[in-house]
Amino acid sequence: MTSSASDAARRRPMLWLLLATLVVLQFGYPITLAGTGWTVVYLLAYVGVVVFSVHRANADRRRYWPLLLASLLLVLGATWFAFRQHDETATSAMLIGVGLLQLALVVTLVGSLVDPPPRARTIDLLLVAVSAYLLIGGVFGVASALIELANPGSFLDPNAAAGALTWQGLLYGSYVTLATLGFGDIVPVSAWARSLWSFEAVLGTLFVAVVIARLVGVAGFAARDTRGGDATGG
């Protein structure tokens, strides 16, 4: 096994860690509605994202400071929010930390898709692509929640108690929009809210059609999947 191939194999467990953590975070958020203790447990799951970010920062010096600073902001914001969960400022700080780290990771992972590392195999590209897709939904969920906090009433949910929308509800709405499901239970009302979700729907469609189809469907099953040497038989 070549050095580049062994490096790719060593990076794969970190990609699995990131994907598993994102699945827990992006779809396990209802546990935060069960009380303070469960919210803390949920926030602790972000350790997996931070560990991956630090590992990626050490491996890619071009992303070193953005990833480390975003990780630090997340830790500070999440800690503040853990003690002041009903404080809008603490909630905003937590969301900003989450959003910046997720955005930094999206940029890093999309860069890996555009210019795959040498000897990266299809499984690596699939893990990167799925993780990036989940992160995009998280970024838009954070942006939606911040818009709602700054301008209450930007989104409407007739089923919410007293019409109040939480960040949990807007994270759900973000993924419904990203997947273009169009349930219509949460509706963007303000101009910026409509613009944001329109852009998310377009971006989500383009991501699936262009990034995954191009890199995995066209280039994924070539020499990068060949075991025991390169495509020329070396």
In tens digits, the chain (234 residues) has pLDDT values of 444 555 556 778 999 999 999 999 999 999 998 888 999 999 999 999 999 999 888 887 777 888 999 999 999 999 999 889 889 999 999 999 999 999 999 999 988 887 777 777 778 888 999 999 999 999 999 999 999 999 999 999 887 766 578 999 999 999 999 998 888 889 999 999 999 999 999 999 999 888 767 665 545 455 555 554 444 444
Give me the amino acid identity at 169. G
Nearest CA to 189 out of 161, 165, 162 is that of: 165
Q: What letter would DSSP give residue 32?
A: G
Backbone angles phi, psi at 160, to 5 degrees: -75, 145
Q: What letter would DSSP give residue 159?
A: T
Find where tokens 């992160």 sit: 135
Distance CA 101, CA 99 (A): 6
User: Do residues 190 and 147 touch, judged by C-beta distance below 8 A?
Assistant: yes
Helix (H) or strand (E) holding 143: helix 122-150
User: Do residues 211 and 113 touch, judged by C-beta distance below 8 A?
Assistant: yes
3-class DSSP assignment, residue 155: strand
